[in-house]
Amino acid sequence: METSLVMDIAVDSMRVAVLVAGPVLAAALLSGVLVGVLQAATSIQEMTLSFIPKLAIIGITLVIFGEWQLTVMAEYFETIFERVRAVTN
């Protein structure tokens, strides 16, 4: 197996990881910051106040982006399997 092929696979895997995890992580970050600002402004330090909105936002984000994430992952796996098949032949 050539070094360039391994590097291409590594770069593609990082790209897919960022694409798949990005929307969920961005939504969690944004909701965490907004809830943190709200808690700081109102002096409410309830732990569930930060957990429940994040959980709800992550669930909504997965419902919205889930199909697209699965499509990206399926295309990546097909590419990987094609590369493995090409190397073994």
- What confidence category does residue 5 fall into, taking pLDDT thresholds of 50, 70 and 90? confident
Do residues 76 and 16 make contact, with C-beta atoms less than 8 angstroms apart? yes
3-state secondary structure of 43: coil
Domain ranges within the chain, ordered by starting residue: 3-88
Q: pLDDT over 70 for what percent of the chain?
A: 99
pTM metric for this prediction: 0.79
- Cα of first residue to Cα of last residue in the chain, in angstroms, is 12
Q: Summarize pLDDT for 23-65 with one digit per residue, the tens.
A: 999 999 999 999 989 988 988 888 788 889 899 999 999 999 9
Considering the chain, what is the average pLDDT of its residues? 91
Alpha carbon distance 49, 15 (integer Å): 33
